[in-house]
Amino acid sequence: MDRLVGTVAVVTGGASGIGAACAVRLAAEGAIVATVDIADGVDYVVDVRDEAAIEAAFADVVGTHGRLDAVVHAAGVAGGGPVHLLEQDEWDRVVDINMKGTYLVDKHAAIHMLAAGRGSIVNISSIEGLEGTEGGSAYNASKGGVVTLTKSMAIDYGRKGIRVNCICPGGIDTPLLRDIVAAPGLECYRDAMRDAHLLGRFGRPEEIAAAAAFLASDDASFITGHSLVVDGGFTAGLQVGLLEQIGLM
């Protein structure tokens, strides 16, 4: 497909997982892609909490390529726990990276897009930004903030030619998820989480990247303020095995 030929895009979190898959997919569809991450191997080694560094990276992309058409903001971290056991430093870390980082990336993307009168911003949130989960606390709060910020920005910038959407993935087989479930004793949690997806598996980063490419492209030209759930049926409802029990499946 060549939906993004001529498009200049920035992808944060581009060193691994969903961000890396988004960078590959956007490039495969013809976009010029600049990647951002705190890890090596990307175009801009930047902490998304560092406003001066984010501002400089966007300015360099526009200075080099003459435009900024799309941003996929995938940088984020996991973390949380029951609130009464959660240290403030951990709360601050998760909320700063996931929520403040989204604000800063979106802010400096919007500045350049406003000057051009066009653009598409795709934030990566989570199904945990739409509903509570056990021990979610800081992560859920931060991702819920991403959903609401996305809607607010869609309202603010829609008539300026800028679309702002987010994707809410279910459990995706990334290094982040593997780290969460790798601790001894969490094997049953991993299996229960996987089985809660009606398709019976975790998603692949490439499946989120496909959704991001769609939202970034003109195929989604009448979509803004939307939270696109890509979760293998996780949030569709409860499956308890009734149909199997009565012999209908």
User: Would you name the residues annotated as active-site residues?
Assistant: 139
58, 82, 210 from 191: Cα distances, Å: 41, 22, 26
User: Which residues are CB-contacts of 42 (< 8 A; sequence separation ≥ 6)?
Assistant: 14, 15, 35, 36
Structure tokens at 242: 């009734």
Neighbours of 143 (CB within 10 A): 25
What is the C-alpha radius of gyration for the chain, rounded to an integer number of angstroms?
18
Angstrom distance (rounded) from CA 116 to CA 67: 8
User: Which residues are CB-contacts of 17 (< 8 A; sequence separation ≥ 6)?
Assistant: 74, 172, 174, 175, 176, 205
The DSSP annotation for 83-127 comes to GGG--HHHHHHHHIIIIIHHHHHHHHHHHHHHHHT-EEEEEE--G
Instruction: Tell the residue number behind the tokens 């191997």, with chain if given.
Output: 41
Q: How far is CA 244 from the centre of its chain?
A: 35
